[in-house]
Amino acid sequence: MKIRTGFVSNSSSSSFIIKIGGPFECPIEVAHHMIIERNWPNDAELLTKLVKLTRSKKINRITNLCFRSTNYDTYIYNTAAGVDIYTCNNIDWKFPAGVEYGSEDDGYNAIEGKLFTMLESELTGQRLPDEVARDIIKDIGGKFAQQINFYCKTCCTEMWLELKNNSQIITCPNCEESSFIKTQPVNKWQKI
């Protein structure tokens, strides 16, 4: 029987809050801690990639980060009060003192519209917002709407909006398989 010693929730998602002056100062530090903490077989490679991305300046202290977790991807993002995390609680995350438990709903709502860099693929985009999914279905309608899958058919990851050449590509941030491509001015679906 597994006994949980960390934060406990009835939901399969969790949210954590790290205030300014807490144990971590930026998403890079939090991602480093969490990747070591989960101890998956490929985590040494992911840590190497995190360091490489930081040294090459593709990511920095203000970059919001994302990486694969068990049921949900982990999103680490800056706020005015510090750094917040929205993640899967099927991993028994252990944090040092100064990390508070937050609301799952607040975490889910807070990632809406934010840009993240997925560590595994280095893709930058955002989780496909519900209103965007509805707009796409309205735009293309009928039988084509049934061909759009908002979860990757290859790896079951939630699809993202990737910004590329002033267009938005709906793509998988994990295996980079594109489900649907629509050339639109960026402001059609999101405000940056």
Provide the residue type at 192 as one letter. I
Q: List the one residue out of 117, 182, 113, 109 whose CA is nearest residue 145.
A: 182
DSSP string covering 54-80 = HHTTSS-TT--EEE--SSS-EEEEEET
Instruction: Please return the burial class of 153, using the count of CB atoms within 10 Å of its CB with bins 0-12, 13-18 and 19+.
Output: exposed
What is the per-residue pLDDT for 188? Answer: 44
Query: CB atoms < 10 A from the CB of 7, how many?
Result: 17
Give the CA-trace dihedral at 175, 180, 184, 189, to 10 degrees: -80
Decide: 125 and 116 in contact? Cβ < 8 Å: yes
Decide: 161 and 176 in contact? Cβ < 8 Å: no
- Residue 46 clears pLDDT 60, i.e. is over it: yes
> Which range, 2-11, 26-35, 87-96, 148-157, is most confident?
26-35
What is the per-residue pLDDT for 119? Answer: 92
More confident residue, 127 or 98: 98
- Average pLDDT of every residue of the chain: 75
Q: Encode pLDDT of 68-97 as tens digits.
A: 888 778 999 999 989 999 988 788 888 888
Q: Encode pLDDT of 102-141 as tens digits.
A: 877 778 778 887 889 989 888 888 776 666 666 665 555 4
User: Cα dist. 154→88, 178, 181 in Å?
Assistant: 20, 10, 17
